[in-house]
């Protein structure tokens, strides 16, 4: 019993991470380059539905990793580690370039949409990031207004002058800026006022609670009203059924994303979906 207890204590002290987990977290990072090169790290797209027009006007790029021996590794299990080791730039640029090439392909096929890429706020302080993003747009021949950057607000990143400057440069270049996971962090109205964004994404935890809880419904409704007052469009994520869609629509939400519309899917499936929508 004491052995088990000490093992339990070690596990707890390590933050619930076993030695095997730690080994994997180390090797994982060295495997990343290979995964980007051989295609086991790929990009899925989840459609965003515009409620006013009833059309898919955008899609979010979400990274996927099919590990040769571990199978599907969810991004929440490797993005934080990559971020902690300062390697998130490489992954972000990989996803960005892929998404921009795919956006160019959709435009050429006559079904242009806006693609959204997740950008960790920690990257915004890096010198040269804005230029790198603008260069990637130019290389792919994609207009800046076809790109949205979804920035997660994080307690670790203060909205210091250089971060605001970087966001303003990106926005002034015509790129859409979206505040991701709104409501989960320290986001306040004063934070939003300083954040040069055009879009706010309500986190799925609120969206999924809104039918069962009137306080969550009030929260969602007042967030939408406030965002509109500030001139932002609102996207709700995690919409899994028609009832939630209807409730969001009644609250004046602009766009929705979630399993009810479509799961994250390979690019070819997205392209096919947009083609059928185009002829509908
Ligand atoms: P996120 O940006 O908040 O993305 C939304 C997450 O909700 C995605 O999880 C998506 O698959 C999931 N989702 C979408 N619709 C539904 C729904 O109807 N129900 C439920 N239960 N879930 C839904 P995913 O793909 O596992 O990604 C998790 C997080 O990993 C993302 O959260 C994002 O923060 C991060 N991430 C993913 N790809 C990238 C990337 O390329 N770069 C960076 N920096 N972060 C990424
Ligand atoms: Ca996102
Ligand atoms: Ca979220
Ligand atoms: Ca997130």
Residue 246 pLDDT exceeds 50:
yes
Q: Which ligand is nearest to the CA of 153?
A: 4
Residue with tokens 């090797």: 27
Q: Can you give the pLDDT at residue 184?
A: 80
Q: Which two tokens stand for residue 155?
A: 């307690």
Residue 94 pLDDT exceeds 70:
yes
Q: Is residue 119 helix, strand or coil?
A: strand
pLDDT tens track for 170-223: 999 999 999 998 888 766 777 788 889 999 999 999 999 999 999 999 999 999
Mean pLDDT of the chain: 89
- The rounded Å distance from CA 152 to ligand 4 centre is 6
Q: What is the ipTM of this complex?
A: 0.97
Predicted TM-score (pTM) of this structure: 0.91
Residue 107 pLDDT exceeds 60:
yes
Q: Can you give the length of the chain in residues?
A: 280
Pocket of ligand 1 from Cβ distances under 6 Å: 46, 62-63, 74-76, 79, 92, 95, 118, 120, 150, 152, 180-181, 204, 237-240, 258-259, 264
Q: Higher model confidence: residue 48 or residue 193? A: 48
Q: Higher model confidence: residue 214 or residue 23? A: 214
**152-178 exposure pattern, b = at least 16 Cβ within 10 A, e = fewer:** bbbeebeeeeebeebbebbbeeebbbb
């Amino acid at each position: 019993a004491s052995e088990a207890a000490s093992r339990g204590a070690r596990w707890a002290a390590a933050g619930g991470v076993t030695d095997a987990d730690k080994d994997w977290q180390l090797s994982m990072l060295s495997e990343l380059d290979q995964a980007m090169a051989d295609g086991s790290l790929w990009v899925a797209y989840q459609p965003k539905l515009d409620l006013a027009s009833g059309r898919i006007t955008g899609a979010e790029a979400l990274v996927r990793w099919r590990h040769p021996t571990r199978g599907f590794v969810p991004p929440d299990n490797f993005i934080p580690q990559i971020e902690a080791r300062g390697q998130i730039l490489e992954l972000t640029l990989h996803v960005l370039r892929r998404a921009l090439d795919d956006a160019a392909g959709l435009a050429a096929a006559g079904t242009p949409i806006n693609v959204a890429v997740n950008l960790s706020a920690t990257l915004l302080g890096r010198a040269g990031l804005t230029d790198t993003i603008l260069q990637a747009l130019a290389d792919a021949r994609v207009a800046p207004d076809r790109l949205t950057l979804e920035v997660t607000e994080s307690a670790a990143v203060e909205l210091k002058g250089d971060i605001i400057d970087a966001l303003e440069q990106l926005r002034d270049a015509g790129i859409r800026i979206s505040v991701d996971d709104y409501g989960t962090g320290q986001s306040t109205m004063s934070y939003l006022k300083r954040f040069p964004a055009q879009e706010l994404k309500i986190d799925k935890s609120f969206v999924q609670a809104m039918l069962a809880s009137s306080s969550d419904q009030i929260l969602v409704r007042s967030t939408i009203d406030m965002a509109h007052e500030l001139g932002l469009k609102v996207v709700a994520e995690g919409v899994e059924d028609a009832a939630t869609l209807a409730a969001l629509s009644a609250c004046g939400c602009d766009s929705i994303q979630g399993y009810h519309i479509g799961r994250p899917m390979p690019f070819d499936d997205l392209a096919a979906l947009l083609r059928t929508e185009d002829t509908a």
